[in-house]
């Protein structure tokens, strides 16, 4: 009788762990952690230096664009991070900021968008800075909507 109870308890514990791990995996990799605010990446390809690092950055940047357009935001984030590690460009920071926003990592999104705006400022790219202002306004609006108290229907 004791062996039967042990087996039954083991099955319950394993099932509970499986459900918990499955839920966490879904939240991390699945749609549970994504809130698409920015559907399209910044397609302007930066000018990369004619070096090995520049060539690698260009490949990572293009792979990031393709992953973004396929809505594979985690892979896109990795590709843009790799591009930034090779050659830091405003466009790579801008796209990674949009991706962080889509992944609900708003703090990281704001940091990357601000860094992109600084790089755009150095380039004298006013229209890109205006786009970043719009992106930051959309992030702020989403935050305000999340914090808005839910009205109670009686």
List the domain boundaries for the chain: 2-32, 38-147
Which residue did the predictor score with more confidence, 121 or 2? 121
Percent share of the chain, pLDDT over 70: 88
- CATH node for 38-147: 1.25.40.10
- Residue 17: band (very low, low, confident or very high) from pLDDT cuts 50, 70, 90: confident
Read off the pLDDT of each residue in 137-154 and give the average, rounded to a whole number. Answer: 81
- CB count within 10 Å of CB 86 equals 21
Which residue did the predictor score with more confidence, 27 or 96? 96
Residue 57: pLDDT above 70? yes
Q: Find how far residue 105's CA is from the centre of its chain.
A: 7
The pLDDT, as a whole number, for residue 31 is 45
The pLDDT, as a whole number, for residue 100 is 97
Give Cβ neighbours of residue 119 (< 8 Å, ≥ 6 apart). Answer: 88, 89, 90, 93
- Residue 115: band (very low, low, confident or very high) from pLDDT cuts 50, 70, 90: very high
Residue 150: pLDDT above 70? no
Percent share of the chain, pLDDT over 90: 69
In the DSSP assignment, the letter for residue 71 is: T
Read off the pLDDT of each residue in 102-128 and give the average, rounded to a whole number. Answer: 96
Copy the structure tokens of residue 23. 């839920």
CA distance 66 to 102: 16
Copy the structure tokens of residue 21. 């791990």
């Amino acid at each position: 009788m004791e062996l039967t109870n042990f087996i039954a308890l083991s099955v319950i514990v394993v099932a509970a762990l499986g459900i918990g791990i499955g839920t966490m995996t879904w939240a991390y990799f699945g749609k549970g952690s994504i809130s698409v605010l920015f559907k399209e990446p910044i397609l302007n390809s930066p000018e990369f230096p004619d070096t090995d690092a520049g060539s690698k950055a260009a490949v990572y940047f293009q792979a990031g664009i393709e992953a973004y357009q396929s809505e594979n935001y985690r892979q896109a984030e990795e590709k843009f991070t790799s591009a930034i590690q090779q050659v830091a460009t405003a466009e790579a920071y801008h796209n990674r900021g949009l991706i962080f926003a889509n992944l609900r990592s708003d703090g990281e999104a704001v940091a990357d968008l601000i860094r992109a705006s600084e790089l755009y400022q150095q380039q004298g790219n006013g229209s890109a800075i205006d786009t970043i202002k719009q992106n930051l306004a959309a992030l702020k609006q989403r935050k305000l909507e999340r914090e808005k108290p839910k009205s109670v229907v009686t």
